[in-house]
Chains A and B, each alone.
Chain A
Amino acid sequence: MTDVPAETLRLGYSSLTRKRMVTLLAVALCLILSFILDTATGPGGYSLQTIAEVLADPYAHGARLKVIVWDYRIPVALTAVIVGAMLAVSGAQMQTILNNPLAEPFTLGVSAAASFGAALAIVLGVSVIPAIGGLLVTVNSFVFALGTCGIILLATRLKGVGAETMILFGIAIFFTFSALLSLMQYMASEDQLSRIVFWMMGSLSRASWDKIALGAVLLAVTIPFALMRTWAMTALRMGEASAESMGVDVARLRIEMLIYISLLAATAVSFVGAVGFVGLVGPHIARLLVGEDQRFFLPLSALIGALVMSLTSIISKAVTPGVIYPIGIITALIGVPVFVSIILTTRRERLG
């Protein structure tokens, strides 16, 4: 047990901060590369150079390529980035306020609720908000996702609902909406059925500039809100009583964050459907890279979530040339091993 001079400690922390900034920049760079690759790949097999020219001048190779790149590929690639960031941030914050590393929109049943909302719109044409026409499916799924987040918020206020109970609660919500969803599928016509199944698998093909603008505005407005609370959220990881004694208004922080997370999760899910595990993978990798100081953890979760989603979008096009697989299938295949590894490591921590 040798004592370290105070000066060494201070310098050590400063160099750690610099390393974390470098990590953030490196992941941001990867994201940009992945975004470019995502716009460059897809059916048609155009060269990277052609795509670059169309990016610089939309009509460089005629109207057909302008439509492919600017009206289809860029919206899809941007949606992947925005939705990935939203899912990862909502996952990271759910994990913090519920003190459970497995919490995310998918595992808490939010995605299942959104799927049911979408199916309700597809099959029965039932809308929770009247007169919205073409956005019926999106709005319905948003409202159901938001409602489920509200139920989760209420459940956390109940006495004796601990970290484990919350996941069991999520499973209960998941099964309830799965059953209701099966009912919708049973009642659906052949055409409706295929639309429901497609929705449930999660897809980026519903991307549009309107949704991108909406998502970007939501992120731009809420990011400063979340950043302002990073010290308090990190304190919450020390335990509720500790955070309270440090001057954090825990009850208020919980409600504020849950409302914020609900908005993000519901928007993301209503845009792309039931895409699971991005909210788990992003924060998990971020945590391993920079720890849980939320000033670094939160932006890095967002970047990694966006990167994972963007890479998934590339993979969905690369597996079979000419075929675009639903991304929900791919995120689940990547996410489930991470899910299992988290369960195993948290168990080991508790035993040790």
Chain B
Amino acid sequence: MSLEIENLSAGYGAKTVLRDASIEPIRPGSFVGLIGPNAAGKSTLFKTISGALRPKAGAIHLAGADIVKMGRKRRAQAVAYMPQAYGCNALLSVFEAVLLALKQTSGWRVEADQLNRVSQTLTTLRLSHLADRGISDLSGGQAQMVAVAQALVRSPQLVLLDEPTSALDLHHQLSVLGSVRNEMRAQGTIIIAALHDLNLAAQFCDRLILIREGRVLADGLPEDVLALEALGQTYCVTTSLETTQRGSLFVDATL
């Protein structure tokens, strides 16, 4: 059931963004943080894994199946990619938006058990009070949670979150990442999240992957990766890893 990425190269046209990226197999239920500066290739990696972009070389296997060769619908069932900068002005309720995510890979008719599944997902994520609300009326945090519900309702094996906390205040950063981690871990789903906030990454992730200019620089436990001198160099700052009085990791960065 694990995710394996080997010698992956990808890009747009003649431009290669990802170069020969290999990642140790990711086990079910893990929460992996993808860190690195802007334009390091994080979104390109996500697009390639989710099938939106065809790799130039290399292989991606999810539970033994080749993602690149998978049919569009099967891949959409297995991999849920939550794109960056979520927001839309559609006149749809939260319930409809979540149902929609489920209906893309099933028949035209809405079945009773599909309505149950949407209802259950909304209840589990504590979004049930928003079910009738229009998606364009939601706050940034609520919209992020609805996007999570759209991913979760499909029961995917792999969830890719691109900057899931970018629009959120401190409370919502913690609550969104917390709910996602708990729910996905319970289902045995793999999560890979691109995160800019290294302290959030340290708090929630089991494992961190550091990339720069399309190459994997480091891959390991948060305490190891965040302690590397290369981390600061990657971001063009100086970093030092400290442990707070509560025992959590803290990355101190200076220019």
Assess whether A238 is in contact with B104, with CB atoms less than 8 Å apart.
no
Known: A4-B129, A12-B131. A247 touches B90 (CB 8 A): no
Please determine whether B88 and A12 come into contact, CB atoms closer than 8 angstroms: no
Q: B97 → chain A, closest Cβ, in Å?
A: 7
Inter-subunit contact B97/A238 (CB<8 Å):
yes
CB distance from B63 to the nearest CB of A (A): 18
Q: Is A237 an interface residue (CB 8 A)?
A: yes
- Cβ-neighbour of A237 out of B77, B92, B126 (below 8 A): B92
Q: A9-B95, A239-B83, A292-B91 are in contact. Are A231 and B128 (CB under 8 A)?
A: no
CB-based contact A238/B90 at 8 Å:
yes
In the complex the two chains form, what is the Cα distance from A232 to B97 in whole Å? Answer: 12
Query: When each residue 261-297 of chain A gets 1 if its CB lies under 8 Å from chain B and 0 otherwise, what string results?
Result: 0000000000000000000000000011001110000
A4 touches B89 (CB 8 A): no
In the bound complex, do residue A2 and residue B150 qualify as a contact, i.e. CB atoms below 8 Å apart? Answer: no
Q: Which chain B residues border A9 with CB–CB below 8 Å?
A: 95, 118-119, 122-123, 128, 131
B226 to chain A, nearest CB (A): 30
Interface size class of A (residues with CB under 8 A): 35 or more
Complex interface: chain A residues within 8 A of B132 (CB): 12
Q: How does the 8 Å CB contact mask read for B116-150 relative to A, with 1 for contact and 0 for none? A: 10111011001011011001100000000001001
- Indicate if the CB atoms of A246 and B100 lie closer than 8 Å: yes
**Residue A245 lies at the interface, judged by CB distance under 8 Å to chain B:** yes
The residue of chain B having its C-beta at the shortest distance from the C-beta of A246 within the complex is B104
Given that A13-B115, A247-B73 are contacting pairs, would A6 and B88 also be in contact in the complex, using a CB cutoff of 8 Å?
Answer: no
Contact: B123 with A293, CB < 8 Å?
no
Q: Which residues of chain A are within 8 angstroms of B120 by Cβ–Cβ distance?
A: 6
Chain A residues whose C-beta falls within 8 Å of the C-beta of B126 in the assembled complex: 1, 3
Q: Chain B residue with minimal CB distance to A245? A: B81
Is A349 interfacial (CB 8 A cutoff)? yes
Q: B83 contacts which of A13, A231, A245, A288 (Cβ < 8 Å)?
A: A245
Shortest distance in angstroms between B72's beta carbon and chain A's nearest beta carbon? 5
- Contact partner of B95 among A13, A227, A228, CB < 8 A? A13
Residues of A within 8 Å of B89, CB to CB, are: 346, 349
Distance, CA A17 to CA B99, complexed state (A):
13
Q: Tell me if B's interface is mostly helix, strand, loop or mixed.
A: helix
Q: How far is the CA of A112 from the CA of B73 in the complex (A)?
A: 41
What is the CB-to-nearest-CB distance from A263 to chain B, in angstroms, rounded to a whole number?
23
Contact with A along B222-254 (1 / 0, CB 8 A): 000000000000000000000000000000000
Question: What are the residues of chain A within 8 A of B118 when measuring CB–CB?
Answer: 9-10, 13
Q: Check A291/B96 contact, CB under 8 A, given A6-B119, A10-B116, A246-B101.
A: yes
How many A-B residue pairs lie within 8 Å, measured between CB atoms? 119
Q: A238 vs B86: C-alpha distance in the bound complex, in angstroms?
A: 9
Chain B residues whose CB sits within 8 angstroms of the CB of A227 once the complex forms: 108
A12, A231, A239: which contacts B103 (Cβ < 8 A)? Answer: A231
Known: A13-B95, A232-B104, A237-B90. A245 touches B82 (CB 8 A): yes
Chain B contacts for A2, CB-based, 8 A: 129
B65 at the interface (CB under 8 A from A): no
Per the bound structure, the CA–CA distance linking A7 and B97 in Å amounts to 18
Q: Select from chain B the residue with minimum beta-carbon distance to A240.
A: B83
Contact A14 B76 (CB under 8 A): no
Report the Cα distance A7→B129, complex, angstroms: 13
What is the chain B residue whose CB lies nearest that of A6? Answer: B119
A243 to B, closest residue via Cβ: B104
Those of A239-260 within 8 Å (CB) of chain B: 239, 241-242, 244-249
Residues of A within 8 A of B115 (CB): 10, 13-14
Contact flag A238-B95 (CB < 8 Å), given A6-B120, A245-B50, A245-B81: no
Other-chain residue from A17, A232, A246, A293 in contact with B150 (beta carbon distance below 8 A): A246
CB contact list, B60-76 vs A, under 8 A: 72-73, 75-76
Q: Which residues of B contact A235 (CB under 8 A)?
A: 100-101, 104
Q: CB distance A242 to B86 under 8 Å?
A: yes
The interface bits of chain A over 189-222 (1 if a CB of B lies within 8 angstroms of the residue's CB, else 0) are 0000000000000000000000000000000000
A3/B123 contact (C-beta < 8 A), A9-B95, A9-B118 known: yes
B75 touches A247 (CB 8 A): yes
B69 to chain A, nearest CB (A): 16
B136 cross-chain contacts in A, Cβ below 8 A: 349
Separation of A239 and B136 alpha carbons in the complex (Å):
12
- Confirm or deny: B182 has a beta carbon within 8 angstroms of a beta carbon on chain A: no
For B81, list chain A residues within 8 Å (CB).
Answer: 241, 245
The chain B residue with its CB closest to the CB of A101 is B89
- Is B93 at the interface (CB under 8 A from chain A)? yes
Expressed in whole angstroms, the minimum distance between the Cβ of B238 and any Cβ of chain A is: 35
Say whether, besides A9-B122, A237-B92, A231 and B131 are in contact (CB < 8 Å).
no
A-B contact pairs, 7 of them (CB 8 A): A234-B100, A237-B88, A241-B83, A242-B147, A245-B76, A246-B76, A247-B75
Q: Ordered nearest first, which 6 A-B pairs have the shortest CB separation?
A: A247-B76, A241-B83, A6-B119, A237-B90, A9-B119, A245-B81
- Residues of chain A whose beta carbon lies under 8 Å from any beta carbon of chain B: 1-7, 9-10, 12-14, 17, 227-228, 230-232, 234-235, 237-239, 241-242, 244-249, 287-288, 291-293, 346, 349
New contact pairs (18) apart from A248-B104, A287-B91, A291-B93, CB-CB < 8 Å: A3-B123, A6-B122, A7-B119, A9-B122, A9-B128, A12-B95, A13-B96, A227-B108, A228-B108, A238-B97, A239-B83, A245-B50, A246-B101, A247-B75, A291-B91, A292-B91, A293-B100, A349-B89
